[in-house]
Amino acid sequence: MTLTNRAVIVIIGGGIAAYKSLDLIRRLKKRGAGVRVILTEAATAFVTPLSVSALSGNRALLRLLDAESEPDSGHIRLAYSSDLIVVAPATADLMARMATGRADDLATAVLLAATCPILIAPAMNPAMWQHPATQRNFWRLMDDGVEAVGPNSGAMAEPEQGVGRMAEPPEIVAAAENLLKSRSALLAGKKVLVTAGPTYEAIDPVRFLGNRSSGKQGYAIARAAAAAGADVTLVSGPTALADPRDVRVDRVESAREMLAAVLAALPVDIAVFCAAVADWRVDVESDHKIKKTGESPPVFTLVENPDILSTVAHLEENRPKIVVGFAAETDYVLKHAREKLLKKGCDFILANDVSPERGIMGGDNNSIHVVTAEGVTDWPLMAKDDVARHLVAYLAEYRVKD
Ligand code: CTP
């Protein structure tokens, strides 16, 4: 029981979903957690401090500069003495304030001072959820190491359907338990190397060969490994993503630069090759912009790039104890993954179907088949962050064969 005797702060934001937070408090208590509840000012319009106090067994906390608790910096003490903070509902406004590091009420001050894991359960109108500002704030929070559960799709308070419904209390409790488990230093003392993103192979100073990889899956793995206590190096091709917290990031462009950065990061215990490395580059890169001549278009000869995963997996010296590959396939997914496992010499492959209709590349979800020499295990469709946490748990249990 991961929640037993854990100090959990529930922060309730001002949204209609706040009524579900009362059930959440009850369920957390039932699992043995000690629960303190902070209500934002807007939240008090939806639930009363009295019902929160009655359910949690502790006085509801409302104000930052509360005369009773602040003489000894109550909000800092509160933040330090907690094992987990759950923000439910995390409204668009509360997420925006968290993402910009505001600390002008008790909820945001505690969140800013906290060093424990933070789980948010976003809830808002679908248009607000999809707004670029909210999406920006959400991903900023993910980069800062915050974890999320939901939002789900379904009927909303408004006569509208869409994504924005707060996750149900049992889902939030399960996510809280998983989060505490995954943060229990599963990879403490391990050095982990992750490659992520695409590579760009220059044709001339302005053009390149590349691919559609967003880097999200690799960044999520780096984040999850760091959260599990590993010393993580992320070698990343060009992406639009911010550096994850507590991760050493080495940004490169081409496959050859990526190989050099990877070799420089060795020795490590575990290497996860998530990058979508460009298979080819032009044999001769032009040092000036190639101009149209009005005659026949240029013809390029392609040469194969080094295979980074295969190079590392076949090293005589410094081979990481566990080498993990990905296989991005559009057909015969498992057959191709098995072939790659043998050819590249890695310990296991996470295979995914990247046909455009599956929306994996650039999307937020991933559907993984773990292919080992012994067989195949299917993981259900899940968010890339959950794939990352699953992988961390899998790596922590993985026994290297002699
Ligand atoms: N990989 C690598 N270096 C390369 C090509 C691939 O390290 N030059 C790694 C990827 O990071 C991934 C695995 O090899 O872990 C498989 O990548 P994938 O793109 O699925 O396969 P390819 O080897 O490129 O084969 P193909 O394009 O023929 O499917």
Catalytic residue among 211, 305, 352, 366: 211
* 211 noted as active-site residue: yes
Residue that is last in its domain, among 149, 182, 215: 182
Whose CA is closest to atom 12 on ligand 1?
326
Instruction: pLDDT band for 360, please (50, 70, 90 cuts).
Output: low
**CATH value at residue 95:** 3.40.50.1950
Residues 234 and 260 in one domain: yes
Atom of ligand 1 nearest to the CA of 310: 7
Regarding whether 335 and 287 lie in a shared domain, the answer is yes
- Left (φ > 0), alpha (ψ -120 to 50) or beta: where does 189 sit? left
Shared domain check, 261 and 347: yes
Task: List pLDDT tens digits, range 181-211.
Answer: 877 788 999 999 999 999 999 999 999 999 9
Do 195 and 170 fall into the same domain? no
Q: Residue 371 contacts by C-beta under 8 Å, 6 or more apart in sequence?
A: 327, 334, 337, 338, 341, 348, 349, 350, 351
Who has greater pLDDT, 93 or 400? 93
Q: Which of 135, 164, 182 is the last residue of a domain?
A: 182
Number of domains in the chain: 2
Q: Which one of 193, 257, 273 would you pick to mutate in the ligand 1 pocket, going by the greatest count of ligand atoms within 8 A of its CB?
A: 273
Mark whether 167 and 196 lie in a shared domain: no
In tens, the pLDDT along 311-341 reads: 999 999 999 999 999 998 888 999 999 999 9
Per-residue burial over 366-378, b = 16 or more CB atoms within 10 Å of its CB, e = otherwise: bbbbbbeeeeeee
Task: Tell me how far the alpha carbon of residue 396 lies from the centroid of ligand 1, in angstroms.
Answer: 24
Q: pLDDT tens for residues 256-298?
A: 999 999 999 999 999 999 999 999 999 999 999 999 988 899 9
250, 381: one domain: yes
Out of 182, 214, 241, a domain closes at 182
Q: Are residues 334 and 233 in the same domain?
A: yes
The pLDDT > 70 percentage for the chain reads 95
Are residue 232 and residue 249 in the same domain, yes or no? Answer: yes
Q: Which atom of ligand 1 is nearest to the CA of 336?
A: 29
Q: Are residues 259 and 152 in the same domain?
A: no
How far is residue 397's CA from residue 380's CA, in Å, rounded to a whole number? 19
What is the maximum span of the chain, computed from C-alpha positions, in angstroms? 82
Report the candidate in 28, 60, 63, 33 with the shortest Cα–Cα distance to residue 47.
60
Ligand 1 pocket by Cβ (under 6 Å): 195, 255, 273-277, 279, 305, 307-309, 325-328, 340
Radius of gyration of the chain (CA): 24
Could you tell me the distance, in angstroms and rounded to a whole number, from the CA of residue 116 to the centre of ligand 1?
Answer: 37
- Which two tokens mark 177? 């338990």
Please give the model's pTM, rounded to 2 decimal places.
Answer: 0.71
In a domain, residue 1? The reply is: no
The answer to whether residue 2 is domain-embedded is: no
Q: Which atom of ligand 1 is nearest to the CA of 274?
A: 11
Domain that holds residue 113: 7-182
| Cα distances (angstroms) measured from residue 237 to each of 62, 191, 214, 355 | 45, 20, 9, 22
Examine residue 367 and state whether it is found in any structural domain, yes or no: yes
Is 75 found in the same domain as 173?
yes
* Residue 225 sits in the same domain as residue 146: no
Q: Which helix (H) or strand (E) holds 250?
A: strand 248-251
Specify whether 103 is located in the same domain as 247. no
